[in-house]
Structure 1
Amino acid sequence: MVLLCVYSLNVDSRRSQLCLQRGLFEGVRERSLTMAFPASAGRGVTQVIDRCEAAKTSGFLDLSSCTLMYIADAIYLVLKGFEVTKVSLRNNCLKKFPKKMIGKFPNATIFNMEGNEIEEIPEEFEQWTSMRGINAANNKLTTFPQGIFNMKDLAILDLSGNQIEEVDVDRLYASCPSLVQLNLSGNPLKTETKTRLTSSPSKPAKILLKLD
């Protein structure tokens, strides 16, 4: 009888230790995700994590209007092993392009970064070869993103509201024959660039241009 009681106590003790270890592990993981964001973020942290969880099933990572100043590594941790094909970073406070996102979501087809303060898009942008739609409106871009020339399936491109003066028009039309919408309004485009955009022989037949 004594031996049975001792055995029962040992089993209960091991179970308690396992539960405690599991709880500690989950607690550490939760804190690691939360600590990746500013302490003052409050409900915004929960919002970001919830949207990451939703992206696991939808493939659409919607981080629009989350007051983000950068994309934390914790976001990639949550989505590790899941495919994301659409991303929206619209209306945040990003000043630098989230370069790591290109490698983490290599099959992205839709990318929206409208309404940030990004000044430059890196060369790695060209690795998104499956891209079909880009919205980079209302940022601070001063040059046309060169990586776009490697996106042969691109159909929609919105670069309105930036500070772009020149575009290699012939190269753009030759590289992106699937373009059906191109919005460059709100940029200080040179007159010759505008003329070339509207009259180039390589201009896609069905393209809808917006320059003013």
Structure 2
Amino acid sequence: MKPPPSQFGADITNTAHMICTKLAGRAVIRVVGRCNEAQENNNLDLSECQLMQVPDAVYHLMRHTELKACNLSSNVITKIPPKFAVNFSLITELNLAHNQMSKLPDELADLAELERLDLSHNAFINLPGVVYKMPKLITLIANSNHIIEVDVDRLSASRSLESVDLRENPLPRNTESALQNISRIRVVLSPRELEEWEDLTI
């Protein structure tokens, strides 16, 4: 005999809740485990942890650890809080790839030792202003976003930048041309396909 529909629905809801709680529990256990590892090797790897943000507990667990690298890739993070730079001020590498970010806080300029920043596969429509202010940034990876705006003058004025990857972005033609004219920094762009109206052979 089938249970009444309402009871059946309640069973599904309860089961779904239990599954979600288990998944959340697993994610928490994973994060705590990786924080413990980071206390040993100074490299915090929170990739693929289903994070929507950096949990406050992480800052607490890491408060006595001098992190050198932080990997937050392959999550669903939409923003990095200003306090991130205060807590992880000594990192040299930050991987934010494969998230849902469209901006970065100016406070990240306080990451005075940061040399490598990966922003690839996010939702940026302009190159965040803070990247021009990072004093030791050498490598910037920002491919596969929606970037249409780059402050070329500020980029070329950077004293530390050596390599910038801007492939797979819908950059305007004049911006691409300006970027190609930067001689001191290696700027990587996707090969440009001519629009029909640009093809003068027609």
Q: Which residue of structure 2 lines up, in the alignment, with residue 74 of structure 1? A: 57
From 124, 127, 133, the equivalent of 1:141 is: 124
Please list every run of 5 or more consecutive structure 2 residues that lacks an aligned counterpart in the other structure.
Answer: 1-19, 191-202
**Distance in 2, Cα, partners of 1:51 & 1:155:** 27
**Identity among equivalent pairs (%):** 33
**Distance in 2, Cα, partners of 1:182 & 1:46:** 36
**Distance in 2, Cα, partners of 1:64 & 1:98:** 17
Write out per-residue CA displacement over residues 125-179 of structure 1, whole angstroms, 9 at most, x where no aligned residue: 211122100000010111211111122321110111111112111211212x333
From 56, 73, 91, the equivalent of 2:39 is: 56
**Distance in 1, Cα, partners of 2:21 & 2:53:** 14
TM-score (norm 1): 0.75
Q: Which residue of structure 2 lines up, in the alignment, with residue 161 of structure 1? A: 144
Larger Rg: 1
Report whether the alignment pairs 1:196 with 2:183.
no
Q: Equivalent residue of 1:42, what SS?
A: helix
Report whether the alignment pairs 1:114 with 2:72.
no
CA contact (8 A) 2:70 2:94 kept: yes
CA contact (8 A) 2:99 2:122 kept: yes
| Partner AA of 1:189 in structure 2 | L
What RMSD over aligned residues (CA atoms) do the two structures have, in Å? 1.6
From 156, 169, 173, the equivalent of 1:187 is: 169
Write out per-residue CA displacement over residues 30-56 of structure 1, whole angstroms, 9 at most, x where no aligned residue: xxxxxxxx8441322211111101111
Q: Equivalent residue of 2:164, what SS?
A: strand
Larger relative helix fraction:
1
CA contact (8 A) 2:81 2:105 kept: no
Q: How many residues align?
A: 170
**Distance in 2, Cα, partners of 1:209 & 1:146:** 17
Structure 1 residue 98: deviation in Å? 3.5
Please list every run of 5 or more consecutive structure 1 residues that lacks an aligned counterpart in the other structure.
Answer: 1-37
1:5-84 alignment runs, 5 A limit: 39-40=21-22, 41-84=24-67
From 125, 128, 131, the equivalent of 2:114 is: 131
Q: Which residue of structure 2 lines up, in the alignment, with residue 105 of structure 1? A: 88
CA contact (8 A) 2:54 2:80 kept: no
